[in-house]
Amino acid sequence: MKLITNIYQLLVTGEYDKALCGKEMGAMPYIENAYLVIDEDRIYEYGSMDDLHPIAVDEVIDATGQIVLPMWCDSHTHLVFATTREDEFVDRIKGLSYQEIAARGGGILNSARKLQAMSEDELYEDALERLSQCIKTGTGAIEIKTGYGLTVASELKMLRVIKRLSTAVDIPVKATLLAAHAIPERHKQNREAYIDEIVNEMIPAFTKESLVDFIDIFCETGYFTVAEMDTIVNAGKAHGLKPKVHVNQFTSIGGIQKAIELEALTVDHLEELTEKDIDALKTSNTIPVALPGCSFFLNIPYTPARKIIDAGLSLAVATDYNPGSSPSSSMNFIVSQACINLKMTPAEAIVAATINGAFAMDVAKETGSITKGKKANLIITKPLPSYNAIPYHFGQHQIDKVIVNGEVL
Ligand code: NIG
Ligand code: FE
């Protein structure tokens, strides 16, 4: 047993059965001057220092002046990829758009060519290094998508890498099939053939091996249509996969309405969001997910988070870590961006990056808040004047220690 004493602020306390919505997000559940007991890999109990009774422990960690919170829950990443894409970064600085680069065979297809040529072991080693970095900087649960394979063999290779990652690290790792990320070159003239491959080959084979948790699609002008989302998501659902989908990144084409009809767990991106889209979200339990790192890197509009939260909806934030539109895995930076660019309060941003992120990838039973029985995956910050200082120091995480599965890293 380990005891953390004198915690200045213990954040995101409590047990939740759904993502926090609207005003709830701004009312940070926390305890000032708190203690927390860890038994092996789990939170055993916590409370006010005034109520701390004598307890036999093996180790005491004094957290005077320090803040303790659940590790970040990054519900949307593309962490398994072949190489970075600095050349496209420079092309965009010189004036080309993300879509123009993609039309020249760059973008997702560029990443796919490189990934197809790499061995599973090479991919795994690189991805493990990235994932270890995520954990060191406070990410305690992560979702990882395929989508740079675009063939049966290479999508399978990505899923095997994700499976290996999930057994190599002590944090929850969820796998999402995003074979519908772009139409591969070989099917350019016959996109139905690729949809067919996803529906009739990939989904049955990959779910049979229990390699996938969620089904995703890039529903966007120039990528996949709303009708194709219907086909692919229904095929995934028939094999037990919950939908988490990319919609409204560049255009609003009805993806949100369809995703809601398909009972999607999340709709991600939402940089282009209409009033109609917001009204549709109000009728559902689908969780909106904002990815401000992508807006920052591509210089595109930010998700109107204020409108979403003020409409009483829930919101999660995630990194979208990928080589094309968001090459950073820093959840701390995302929490800063949630405040600076999405105009969320620090309380809303921290809730969006912890408990709401956990619901956005179905790991809230395990992590995302401080409650008895959840995994002891915790961040202990340096001494700070208040939790507002966590996002205030943008680009500089304030971590003193990370506790993963009850062990100080
Ligand atoms: O979420 N929008 C689609 N997919 C990724 C970017 C993929 C890439 O450019 O490699 C995203 O932003
Ligand atoms: Fe993405």
Residue pLDDT, tens place only, 38-62: 999 999 999 999 999 999 999 999 9
Please tell me the number of the ligand nearest to residue 101's CA. 1
From the list 288, 289, 293, 302, the residue with the least C-alpha distance to 325 is 293
Sheet holding 139-145, edge to edge: 72-74, 139-145, 173-180, 214-219, 242-247, 266-269, 287-290, 316-317
pTM (predicted TM-score): 0.98
For residue 315, is pLDDT > 90?
Answer: yes
Which residues does ligand 1 sit against, CB inside 6 Å?
A: 78, 107-108, 111, 218, 246, 249, 294, 320, 322-325
Q: Work out the number of other CB atoms within 10 angstroms of the CB of residue 181.
A: 26
**Residue 374 in contact with residue 42, Cβ under 8 Å?**
yes
Res 105: pLDDT: 87
Pairing relationship of beta strands 72-74 and 2-11 according to DSSP bridges:
unpaired
Task: Please tell me whether residue 366 adopts helix, strand or coil conformation.
Answer: coil
For ligand 1, mutation pick of 97, 270, 296, 322 (most atoms within 8 Å of CB) = 322
The amino acid sitting at 156 is L
pLDDT, mean of residues 150-176? 98
DSSP sequence for 122-140 = HHHHHHHHHHHHHHHTTEE
Core vs surface per residue 121-153: b (16+ CB within 10 A) or e: eebbebbbebbeebbebbbbbbbbbbbbbbbee
- Residue 308 in this model has a pLDDT that exceeds 90: yes
CA 93 from centroid of its chain's CA atoms: 27
Residues 215-225: b if buried by 16+ CB within 10 A, e if exposed: bbbbbbeebbb
Counting ligand 1 atoms within 8 A of each CB, the residue from 75, 78, 109, 296 with the most, and so the one to mutate, is: 78
Q: What is the mean pLDDT of residues 211-239?
A: 98
How far CA 305 is from CA of 51, 61, 68, 91, 399, in Å, comes to: 38, 37, 26, 30, 26
Segment 23-35 shows an average pLDDT of 97
- Mean pLDDT computed over every residue of the chain: 97
Residue 82: both structure tokens together? 């072949």
Token pair 């004598």 is found at 54
Q: What is the pLDDT of residues 96-124, one digit of tens each?
A: 999 999 998 899 999 999 999 999 999 99
pLDDT at 369 over 90: yes
β-partners of residue 145 are 176
CA-proximal residue: ligand 1, atom 5 (nearest): 325
Mean pLDDT, rounded, for 215-233 = 97
Q: What is the predicted pLDDT for the residue at 39?
A: 98
CA 248, CA 217: separation in Å to the nearest integer?
12
The residue nearest atom 3 of ligand 1, judged by CA position, is 218
| Strand (E) or helix (H) holding 84 | none
Taking Cα atoms as reference points, which of 78, 111, 173 lies closest to residue 366?
173
How far, in Å, from the CA of 351 to the mean position of ligand 1? Answer: 25
Q: What integer pLDDT is reported at residue 297 of this predicted model?
A: 97
